[in-house]
Structure 1
Amino acid sequence: MEKEVFNLANQLMLLVTDYALDVIGALLLMVAGWIVAGWIQKHTGKVLQRVDRIDATLSSFVTNLVRYAILILVIIAVLAQFGVQTTSIIA
């Protein structure tokens, strides 16, 4: 009985260590993607505000579109890191 419990605990520890690096990497990728998306959104908004011919509504739409496009790419990268086939999502 003790041997079975020890084997089960050992298998659990191996499973946790295998997936812990993937989870930590995915979290870091999400945080970095979130920061980069916000930074690019801010700078895109500044560039579009300098252009006189672009309406404020269109400028807001484009900056939000850029941000969410980057976030979608980050989510696809995180899914790929976990082994999900993302080719059908991209196509």
Structure 2
Amino acid sequence: MEKEVFSLANQLMLLVTDYALDVIGALLLLVGGWIVAGWIQKHTGKVLQRVDRIDATLSSFVTNLVRYAILILVIIAVLAQFGVQTTSIIA
């Protein structure tokens, strides 16, 4: 009984150490991607506001499109971090 408990604890520790770096990397990638997407959205909006010929609705649509496109790429990168085949998602 005692050997089984130690064996399970050992397996759990191996599992945690194997995936801990992947999880931390994925979280950092998500947070960084979220920040970068917001920054690019803000600057895209500022650039589009300077152009007089673009409607405000179209400007808002384009800035949101840019943000969500970046977030989709970040999510695909996170999935690839965990070993998910992302080639079919991209295609």
> TM-score, with normalisation over the residues of structure 2?
0.98
For 1:5 and 1:47, the matched residues in 2 are separated by 61
For 2:38 and 2:77, the matched residues in 1 are separated by 18
Instruction: Give the length in aligned residue pairs.
Output: 91
CA RMSD of superposed structures (Å): 0.5
CA displacement, residues 17-53 of structure 1 (integer Å, 9 cap, x when unaligned): 1111111110000000000000000000000000000
State the identity as a percent: 97
For 1:19 and 1:30, the matched residues in 2 are separated by 16
1:5 CA displacement: 1.0
Structure 2 unmatched ranges of 5 or more: none
For 1:41 and 1:4, the matched residues in 2 are separated by 54
For 2:4 and 2:50, the matched residues in 1 are separated by 69
Q: Which moved more, 1:42-51 or 1:4-13?
A: 4-13
> TM-score, with normalisation over the residues of structure 1?
0.98
Task: Give the aligned partner of residue 9 of structure 1.
Answer: 9
Structure 1 unmatched ranges of 5 or more: none
